[in-house]
A and B are shown apart, each in its own frame.
Chain A
């Protein structure tokens, strides 16, 4: 079945460091790809998305490029802030018979320190 694999956390960085969170996927069809973020005690917020190969999703300084050849959708940010501390989830969605459930990775916790 479809699956998403994320790098294990927690990832601990100093403020202004470069961030990469790796995400690879396995899918039988042609998925749309997403990054969601979950701040402590809150629900999931859509961070960015990409719907076809070579698309780049971006938001709030975060970027991810849909790489079909490597089945990857790595999340990057050039300079992290303490306020970016959260859990980041990579997810995919494939349209099947009208439904489009999200399949999530296990999440990667990011801690940014001063």
Chain B
């Protein structure tokens, strides 16, 4: 079945780095733009970043620009989020999500992973 499985979360000190992964299965990963969306504990949803199907184009939320980097490895069916210079504001569950329309740009999200928790704390 269509599935996204995130990994790589954990507890990290402020200023340190972390890399999240999202393994896709059950669909042609290379056909879809992919997104990261996060949710701070007890809070709402915040879009983080998007990458085109061919990795040529990426957009970021202003709150993470310059610190978080989205990438993908299509032969491995895997999406990544490199997180540098982390702050307590980055503490959240990070979800990878598939673009509904298959087109690059703003989109709804039809498939979500279960999420991976990132806690930034000293």
A and B from one assembly? Answer: no
